Structure 1
């Protein structure tokens, strides 16, 4: 090996860099452990809500010492910024995909037009999106262009004042479409920046936000975030801040009295109650009941209910004289009041100068359950005199009475308008309403004259956190359109810590076994391989920390899988060295030739696995990306450590003439002089595989697969109880509430995975809260009596009970995930087929490899279809399963390529042998490597399967089945099909060495 000194220097320097990168993680973890111990000393378990109080104390401790030096000038804050990021499944937190409403953006660009063609296209696009993978804007333009004579440049559509600089009435639809696409993209970019600014101020470490293509979807990951409702409000709030002049109740004169009279006539005409009934026992209304109802209503109203006062009966209290509050109503009656006040006959009662009055509600009083009604002074365009776009800064402050408030500063334009508005209000002794998202937060009167300088304040019944969030939203700006959460995953911190513990345990067990096995099988050479393996792991974690990548539980599985890849490379090298020694070569020559001859197989095997890893990285999301990232990094580092680091130790040991054996007494004779007729058994293998494939396909058609919410949409909750529960009994109670629900034991018997598609198409925080409330009510018989709803939804309360993890996937994004998964699998097959075709120059090799892969995938799917109802762990078909399928494809091809490489070598070396003998000899020569690698990989996967946590058990089971089937198929499917597809086998047998591929120039042989 040339340039040994350079490789040594590089390896040492790179190792030191990795240790430096990981040192930040060690420092931050130590400080956080100190903070946790401090919080436990300050708050005992006997204190009410001690878990939340400990969090506060822990954060206070970290804030107080954040800038203090820990070691060598490194502070906790600086270390935290550079530590190895942990994903949601390891740290807990919130992961959501937001859909920015392109529909809202289009409507806004068209000035909320009433044009029939525009609204018809919008309506059709809404319907089409339910079953389409296309972006909403594409569907809109497609539907609009299908309407005869519909023009985008019409004055009623996009040729308006706001777009007049870009669009003229002579433009074609295609020209306007290009401009509108650009404007929509600008709006989505604006929404992305608004969300990024809000998240930056939220206070979590290592947040992640990124756009997902051009569909208007934005991914937000907040590791460590615990307050779910706060996060949802922060992300979805549009922050539509407006300032309006407001009517006093005295200015509306007798409007309410006249409205009540008109409504009495309307209600009476709408009622259709028969005066008599056919039988006495079917009478539903009696005079006594009428009197009782009127007396009951009279207790809650200032007016005596007579049955002819539909509006007055709803008033809880009138506003005081001269107040901007017209009257106070019950929150439950607001929808009815809105309906009454929107009636055309009621609106016609307003005087001409008040015909544009806009009725809005104030902030509800949670104690009394009431809310005030206001009337804003609207105009023809219903545009406020001043909007929140003029806000340049906002801070959470305190009002004159010590209540929480939000202080705002306006820009020059806003300050001028604000001065005019306050001057006008002062002259008229009137009020100005501060309206946020169509809710009046305050409506102060102005009596001191115009307010200059552009400062204003929002006061209300805020908590400090609410005030901080409101200031943050105002400072960051408003969203240009509504944002709905179409996919979410919430992991409780307790579950995250358990995942870390199980991940570390499985990693340690797998590593110890592999280290011991290599020493057992290869002796001292195996010890050198172990050192290279440990260096490989150091490199992987160091690179992850340096790149700022996120470590997830599937990521840990990817790292453990790279242990198998690293072992495979060393096994290939050691087996070739043993072959060269058996030929009588000196130790130095055998080592040199062994490394050289193994290189081709190592590269081919890792490239095929790497190709599937790249497809996972490109098409995957969340944890799948974490798995792909660690897999790809592991492939690169394992190549370097196996080829160079192991070589350095072996050469260094033997340079003084020391003898190095590549086996032990127990393994020296294993797999030597093997002479199995694999091709002679291919018909039996074909029959056995055909039976398995037929059973698998039959099960897929008859029983199907247990598709997770990733693919069908819905909500899933991991709920933990304080005692073992019967999933069948729980499921019956859930079905009574949701209509459709499923409950399965998830890990221990006191933990269930609950799935429902109830109201899956409905979006919004209110729907999520309603479903969680229904879930809480349905599980009352199984939960502790003192577990509150807030503790249940947070999975906390100091007892780690309730919802430990939740996930929501809307039906539209579920279709997208399913579609992307299909193309990922198909794409990987095509890419690998082309690579093998290019590498081996024979389509027969590609055919055999792809046939084996199809065989492996069908059997894995069939086993999941057959067993998902009886296995004691989740066997859902979700994104993680697709990652497993692609990994199985990569592993199967890895094994197949090694066999093909040896066949190609033997064909070139033994030109006089019949092709069947050549292939059998090649298969026998690779048997030691195949079984060795498969065994170590299987033990590693079993360690993760048993100790790695419930959330990845199905994922690991798919890999275990895939490794077993993949090892079998590379020998009994891929190779026989390649052999049988060669019509004139003499063409391969007579192939000359001078026809070898150009990339083999300079080597004496290729490798297995």
Structure 2
């Protein structure tokens, strides 16, 4: 090996850089441990909400020493910025995909047009979007263009004042489309920037936000976030701030009485009709009618439908018309907006807009306001004029938010406050259709553009509101279509199990290499440890996120690294067996193994790249560590191991590359593998038929990634029976499934209840229903807030939750299909290019199809009886692609040896060549498979419940892949070549006969 000195210097320098990068993580962890100890001394466990209070103390400690030098000029804040990032599954937090409503953007660009063609196209696009993978804007244009004579450049659609600079009446639909696409993209970009600014102010370390293609989807990851409801509100709040003139309560006093009288007739007639129907209907249908009456929103309560809902009058001279119970707000609003009731209003009051105030948490009542609307129902002043907002306190010491307006806003605000002062009226400050305050103006017009929102805020709510207003409002509504929430305590358990599996796998592999290869194995172990240092150093330097599947990728890399060393050592042993001196044997062994190592790692790397490109979240983490591991494994196996071996042997020391127990192992193996191929074909055929049959009859246990729905990992204080719990859940949710997840006191609950509905309200409703259903199995003193809240010390309640909308589930399923298909095509082409014969590609792909089918079959056959989750989800697709890579790795090593033997023994029959090649690789195949299986079993047993199904798929894949590389890939290649040879031989014979004749 040339340039040993250069490689040695590079390895040392690179190792030092990796240690430097990882030092930030060690420093940050050390300081945070000190902060935890400080907090535990300050706050006793007996204090109520001690976990939250400890968090506050920890943060104060970290803030106080954040800029103090720890070592060599490095502060805690520096270390925190550069530490190795931990993913949600290791740290807890929230991962969401937000869908910015393209429909809202289109409606806004069309000024909320009432054009029939425009609204018809929107409605049709809504329906089509449920089952289509196309972007919403494409669906809208497709439906609009299908409507006869419909023009996008109509004044009622996009040829309006808003778009007057870009759209004119003469433009074709195609020309308008390009303008609208650009505007929609600008709006989504604006939404992205608004969300980014909000997140930056949220205080979470190492947040991640990125656009996903052009679909209007935005990925947000907030590791370490604990107050999940706060995060969800922050992300989804549109921050639609408006300033309206507001009517006084006494101006509507007579209206409420008149409305009540009108409603008496409306509701009374409905009740009479129901009674008449009941009388005319058989007794057997009375129960059904009563059920319908209960479901109706028009339920009369006595003789005064509206007055019976009123809890109290408004304040004299104030803007509140009346107060209502929170639970009656929907009913009251329905009454007030009935056409017969609205017709009672005359003059400017016809445009009055009824809205609610902020509910009183203590009395559970809320005030009703009437805003002074206009023909266009647009506010005199909107929140777009806000340039700054800060959380402050009002004159009464309550939490408030002060705002500063721009020049135009300040002028309008002065005009509005002047009018309110002259008319002794009030101005309602409305945020997202809720009146937060409606102050009167007592000192004359307010100049300078300063205003204030006061209400029943906590300090945190005030800060969040100020952040949202300062960042700006979203240009359209944002719905969470996929979310994953992991509690911090579950994250810590994942760290513990991940480290355990890693250390056990590493220890077993290190011991095995020394046992099998002696001192050479020890040198390989040193290279392996250096390899792991490089992987973690590169991850820290790149700012990559370490996830539990990422740890699995690193542990799998141990197997890949061992494989490269095994290939090298086996080739060196062969050269020594030929009688070569040690120096030449080492040189030739490394050179001869290089081709197999490169081919094997490139095929695995190709599947890793496909995972990286098409995968999301944890799958990207797995792919990242796998790809880094492949690169570092190549370097350490080829160069670092060589440095140690050459250094040891340069003084004439002997290196046996074996121990007394393994010296003659797998020597002179002479098995006729090809003779057994027909038996293998029959055996594999039987298993494939069984697998396909099971897939058709029993199917697969598809996770929510693929079908949509919600899953909750719930921990109880005692063991529970999943069958009993599932029965109760089915009653509550119609469809639900409960399975033990890890220990017997933990269940994974899945439901498709209201899967098509989005919004925080729906999420809260389902969690409340879940809590009430599980209450008999939970501690008696556990409240709803404790059940849903996160916390470092949490031991009971929702530990993890995930939601996937049906649209994105279809997208994930399609992406997974293309990932598998793409990997097969890429690998087929690579092998064709590398071996220059299509027969090799055919054999490799046949083996891969065989492995994938059998793995799917095993999952189909066993998912109902195995004691762990065997869902088909994104992690399973990652496992399938890894199986493909591993199977090809094995196959390519065998093919490489066949090609080598064909060149060396040109006179041998092909069958003898193939058998000899397989026999020569059997030691390597079994050694690599055994070490890889040991590694995978360590992760399977100790690596945590969340990746157990993933690991099981890999274990099945390794076993099947090892078998198929010998008994499927090679025989298929052999049979296709020999068949071709027979055809050519027959053709030559026929040509000879013709020539003779």
1:561 counterpart residue number: 556
1:194 counterpart residue number: 194
- Structure 2, unmatched stretches of 5+, are 287-299, 986-997
Are 2:364 and 1:373 aligned?
no
Q: Whole-Å Cα distance in 2 between the matches of residues 276 and 244 of structure 1?
A: 46
Matched-pair contact (CA < 8 Å) for 2:603–2:827: yes
2:883 counterpart residue number: 888
Match of 1:309 among 304, 311, 318: 304
Written as runs of structure 1 = structure 2, the 5 A alignment for 1:34-73 is 34-73=34-73
2:207 counterpart residue number: 207
Displacement, 1:29? 0.5
Q: Any idea what SS the aligned residue of 1:355 has?
A: helix
2:510 counterpart residue number: 515
Are 2:795 and 1:800 aligned?
yes
1:293 counterpart residue number: none
Matched-pair contact (CA < 8 Å) for 2:863–2:870: yes
Q: Whole-Å Cα distance in 2 between the matches of residues 353 and 232 of structure 1?
A: 38
Displacement, 1:332? 1.9
2:736 counterpart residue number: 741
Are 2:335 and 1:340 aligned?
yes
Q: Whole-Å Cα distance in 1 between the matches of residues 497 and 277 of structure 2?
A: 72
Match of 2:914 among 914, 919, 923: 919
Q: Whole-Å Cα distance in 2 between the matches of residues 927 and 273 of structure 1?
A: 83
Match of 2:762 among 759, 767, 771: 767
2:583 counterpart residue number: 588
1:230-284: CA deviation from partner (whole Å, max 9, x where unpaired): 0000000000000111111233463223323333333334431447986999899
Displacement, 1:354? 2.3
1:4 counterpart residue number: 4
1:452 counterpart residue number: 447
Q: Any idea what SS the aligned residue of 2:390 has?
A: strand
Matched-pair contact (CA < 8 Å) for 2:204–2:224: yes
1:578-597: CA deviation from partner (whole Å, max 9, x where unpaired): 11122222211111111111
Matched-pair contact (CA < 8 Å) for 1:907–1:988: no
Change (3 A) 1:797 1:504: closer
1:752-773: CA deviation from partner (whole Å, max 9, x where unpaired): 1111111111111111111111
Written as runs of structure 1 = structure 2, the 5 A alignment for 1:222-261 is 222-252=222-252, 254-261=254-261
Change (3 A) 1:694 1:307: closer
Q: Whole-Å Cα distance in 1 between the matches of residues 614 and 747 of structure 2?
A: 30
Q: Whole-Å Cα distance in 2 between the matches of residues 370 and 960 of structure 1?
A: 59
Displacement, 1:359? 1.3
Matched-pair contact (CA < 8 Å) for 2:488–2:792: no
Matched-pair contact (CA < 8 Å) for 2:554–2:629: yes
Choose 407-416 or 625-634, whichever is displaced more: 407-416
Matched-pair contact (CA < 8 Å) for 2:887–2:962: yes
2:500 counterpart residue number: 505
Matched-pair contact (CA < 8 Å) for 1:411–1:454: yes
Matched-pair contact (CA < 8 Å) for 1:25–1:79: yes
Match of 2:425 among 417, 425, 430: 430
Q: Whole-Å Cα distance in 2 between the matches of residues 307 and 706 of structure 1?
A: 52
Q: Whole-Å Cα distance in 1 between the matches of residues 400 and 959 of structure 2?
A: 65
2:117 counterpart residue number: 117
Displacement, 1:666? 1.0
Q: Whole-Å Cα distance in 2 between the matches of residues 283 and 490 of structure 1?
A: 48
2:751 counterpart residue number: 756
Change (3 A) 1:262 1:976: same
Matched-pair contact (CA < 8 Å) for 2:228–2:790: no
Written as runs of structure 1 = structure 2, the 5 A alignment for 1:347-426 is 347-426=342-421
Matched-pair contact (CA < 8 Å) for 1:915–1:985: no
Q: Any idea what SS the aligned residue of 2:854 has?
A: helix
Displacement, 1:314? 2.1
Are 2:512 and 1:545 aligned?
no
TM-score, length-normalised on structure 1? 0.94
Written as runs of structure 1 = structure 2, the 5 A alignment for 1:639-788 is 639-788=634-783
Change (3 A) 1:988 1:204: farther
1:945-987: CA deviation from partner (whole Å, max 9, x where unpaired): 0111111011000000100000000000000000000146769
Are 2:605 and 1:625 aligned?
no
Are 2:819 and 1:824 aligned?
yes
Q: Whole-Å Cα distance in 1 between the matches of residues 115 and 277 of structure 2?
A: 49
1:603-633: CA deviation from partner (whole Å, max 9, x where unpaired): 1000000000000001101110000000000
1:152 counterpart residue number: 152
1:483-541: CA deviation from partner (whole Å, max 9, x where unpaired): 11111111111110111001001000100111111111111111111111100000000
TM-score, length-normalised on structure 2? 0.95
Displacement, 1:154? 0.7
Q: Any idea what SS the aligned residue of 1:329 has?
A: strand
1:93-148: CA deviation from partner (whole Å, max 9, x where unpaired): 11111111111111111111111111111111111111111111111111111111
Matched-pair contact (CA < 8 Å) for 1:907–1:989: no
Q: Any idea what SS the aligned residue of 1:982 has?
A: helix
Q: Whole-Å Cα distance in 2 between the matches of residues 44 and 77 of structure 1?
A: 28
Matched-pair contact (CA < 8 Å) for 2:489–2:794: no
Q: Whole-Å Cα distance in 2 between the matches of residues 135 and 210 of structure 1?
A: 18
1:294 counterpart residue number: none
Q: Whole-Å Cα distance in 2 between the matches of residues 618 and 424 of structure 1?
A: 59
1:299 counterpart residue number: none
Q: Whole-Å Cα distance in 2 between the matches of residues 734 and 984 of structure 1?
A: 60
2:297 counterpart residue number: none
Q: Whole-Å Cα distance in 1 between the matches of residues 231 and 30 of structure 2?
A: 28
Q: Whole-Å Cα distance in 2 between the matches of residues 799 and 84 of structure 1?
A: 25
Matched-pair contact (CA < 8 Å) for 1:393–1:408: yes
Displacement, 1:634? 0.2
- Structure 1, unmatched stretches of 5+, are 286-304, 991-1008
Choose 938-947 or 657-666, whichever is displaced more: 657-666
Change (3 A) 1:279 1:841: closer
Choose 245-254 or 384-393, whichever is displaced more: 245-254
Choose 474-483 or 731-740, whichever is displaced more: 731-740
Matched-pair contact (CA < 8 Å) for 1:96–1:489: yes
Matched-pair contact (CA < 8 Å) for 1:397–1:405: yes
1:917-968: CA deviation from partner (whole Å, max 9, x where unpaired): 0000000011111111000000000000011111101100000010000000
Are 2:180 and 1:185 aligned?
no
Displacement, 1:468? 0.5
Q: Whole-Å Cα distance in 2 between the matches of residues 476 and 535 of structure 1?
A: 46
Change (3 A) 1:796 1:725: farther
Aligned residues: 971
Matched-pair contact (CA < 8 Å) for 2:358–2:435: yes
Q: Whole-Å Cα distance in 2 between the matches of residues 778 and 306 of structure 1?
A: 30
Displacement, 1:473? 0.4
Match of 2:831 among 826, 831, 836: 836
Displacement, 1:796? 4.5
Matched-pair contact (CA < 8 Å) for 1:915–1:988: no
Are 2:487 and 1:492 aligned?
yes
Matched-pair contact (CA < 8 Å) for 2:226–2:790: no
Q: Any idea what SS the aligned residue of 1:2 has?
A: coil
Matched-pair contact (CA < 8 Å) for 2:89–2:548: yes
Displacement, 1:988? 14
Q: Whole-Å Cα distance in 1 between the matches of residues 979 and 301 of structure 2?
A: 101
Matched-pair contact (CA < 8 Å) for 1:912–1:989: no
Change (3 A) 1:191 1:844: same
1:999 counterpart residue number: none
Change (3 A) 1:150 1:856: same
2:163 counterpart residue number: 163
Q: Whole-Å Cα distance in 2 between the matches of residues 315 and 723 of structure 1?
A: 46
Change (3 A) 1:275 1:586: closer
Are 2:142 and 1:142 aligned?
yes
Are 2:901 and 1:906 aligned?
yes
Please tell me the root mean square deviation across aligned C-alpha atoms, in Å. 1.9
